[in-house]
Amino acid sequence: MKYAVILIFLSLPVLSKAQKFNTLEKVSEIPESDLIPEGIAHDPQSDAFYIGSLYKNKVIMMDRQGKVSDFIPANTDGDWSYLGMKVKDGKLWSCRGPLSEKHDSTGYSGLFVYDLKTGKRIKRYLTPDRGHLLNDLIFDGNDIYISDSQGGAVYKISSSNDRLEVFIPPGTFVYPNGITLTPDGGSLVLATSGGLQKIDIPTKQVTQLTHPDYYIIAIDGLYTYGDALIGFQSIMKPEAINQFTFDSAYTEVVNIKTLTCGHPAFYQPTTGAIKNGWLYFIANSYVTTLNNEKVITNPKLLKNPELYRVKLD
């Protein structure tokens, strides 16, 4: 999710009219135009999708038949928005924050954990002070790494102590967002306003992953699939989902493939969930229609959120 204005022009590969994109399909539609969704997660056990709302402070569930219901009703666990989320071990893990400058807790954030059977909160990990926005997360075994967009940091919850701790200190990055692992599992890759950053987990050394011809900036959701990474580029036109492959040492991006780009349904697709070789995502999030006081500025623009999928293989 983006709230910062990035004063940089983004260079993308030239998209020929003859270029063939991967198969793109509409899956379903959510009859709730003001949902303003951001995070999405898939549960392989039930085959359900969980989608978090920025505006309504709730999580909906879409079952395998496409039926939609409230999993966590609005404001049930506080009036904080739901951002990046993952499903693991029968639990939904979601980053949360108030997102309103008028909120008493503005600048605080946390990772909240819910039981998938009951929807009840099991635990939460809160930042100790203001100046944070925990935005997205990735599991490395039972350890968790979390991007802090406002603080410019990466946090960690280690399975050995079960506490939210600083992994890379605040101020290191400019608006870190999507986070994943390199295909070999040895490093983190963090999407920032300044590009993709590789973080060696044992040493915490940070290096930038660049491409010789193109800037890679302002990526939102970021995912590992096979020997590549998949990233959402939706802060500038044309909105696209790209695949990045690397050299053998993961020091440089050697190829960028555009999986899909500029579809008429797109309005700030943010994050996705991978299922059986497909990337599922909300095509039209409308996240930038929310202002800093968490008010929808242009409600006439909104349409029902649409769930799409793009083939990865």
Q: Mean pLDDT in each 10-residue stretch from start to end of the chain (313 residues)?
A: 40 51 97 98 98 98 97 96 98 98 95 97 97 98 98 97 98 98 97 96 97 90 98 92 96 96 96 98 97 97 98 94
The reported pLDDT for the residue numbered 41 is 98
- Whether domain 24-311 has CATH 2.120.10.30: yes
Q: Both ends of the chain: CA-CA distance in Å?
A: 26
- The residues near 210 (Cβ < 8 Å, ≥ 6 apart) are 195, 196, 216, 252, 253
Q: What is the DSSP letter of 128?
A: S
Rounded Cα–Cα distance for residues 53 and 50 (Å): 10
Does the model's pTM come out above 0.85? yes
Contact 156, 148 (CB under 8 A): no
Would you list the domain boundaries of the chain?
24-311
- State whether residue 273 is helix, strand or coil: strand
Amino acid 17: pLDDT: 46
Q: How many CB atoms lie within 10 A of CB 19?
A: 11
CA distances from 256 to 130, 203, 259 (A): 37, 28, 9
